[in-house]
Structure 1
């Protein structure tokens, strides 16, 4: 009787969802009735199959007139999901302008980066002061020894 030992490798990824990044943000509701789906042939590398298969999605939001084309995946269902996700952000930008999710998130990231830069700058200054203080102490010790 043979026994095989299987090692399981677990990979943990840190995933931050949209809700965690900006808590309480409400995206505009996009109803399926407000959107017009059209399946078009794909584009890009992949040869004849890509050019013939109609797995790309053209999604049009009728109230705003926004049109998106998505061909990220070979699967039509996946492309539809991606298109609705992108449409959510596009309609948000159209309706809210500079107060849309992407702009708020970008501002939050800039503030976070500025804060980190300030902390690094202060840390460098403290390090330089310590170095200067140590070099002055060494100079005094050298003068006493002479």
Structure 2
């Protein structure tokens, strides 16, 4: 009986935690034209604009680059044009047309976000954060290398002093 009670208490605490974590997005009204996407992982961009299919012009063209016959004979490169803004996206990352269509739409959403919000877009903010993290990491590495160099010089100077006294 006590095992059942402890299991039930754990399940209630987990469900409360999940409700608490999801509540801000569920309770927050979305501005018109934008959507809240709950995503976990590297690309958790939540405030990207929604694409209306009637505003897009889609073409399938032959790709370019390495690949030989697979590239030269198949039209699996997707070209998307957003008619109101004139932004054009070309995607030829895979041999699959479906995957290229999805990726082209993701890229288009990111470009529209940059177009609409400018330097305050999530894409550019995340890029700036990653650049700053990289610079900070590089600075720490250089500091550690400098400390090691100074330590080795101090050891060498100390060993010379010890050898001169003998």
1:67 corresponding residue in structure 2: 88
Partner Cα distance (1:110, 1:69) in 2: 26
TM-score (norm 1): 0.66
Consecutive aligned runs of 4 or more in structure 1 exceeding 4 Å deviation: 45-51
Selected match of 1:107 from 128, 131, 135: 128
Distance 1:31 1:130, change over 3 A: same
1:81 Cα offset (Å): 1.0
Selected match of 1:83 from 78, 101, 104: 104
Unaligned 5+ segments in structure 1 are 1-15
Higher relative contact order, chain-length normalized (CA < 8 Å, sep 6+): 1
Alignment check: 8 A CA contact 2:63 2:75 kept: no
Unaligned 5+ segments in structure 2 are 1-40
Alignment check: 8 A CA contact 1:41 1:50 kept: no
TM-score (norm 2): 0.60
Selected match of 1:42 from 41, 62, 86: 62
Alignment check: 8 A CA contact 2:76 2:95 kept: yes
Aligned residues: 125
Partner Cα distance (1:87, 1:17) in 2: 18
Distance 1:18 1:63, change over 3 A: same
Distance 1:73 1:137, change over 3 A: closer
Alignment check: 8 A CA contact 2:79 2:90 kept: yes
Per-residue CA deviations over 1:10-45 (Å, capped at 9, x if unaligned) read xxxxxx5211xxxx652122232332334x342435
Matched, 1:144 2:165: yes
* Cα RMSD for the two superposed structures: 2.9
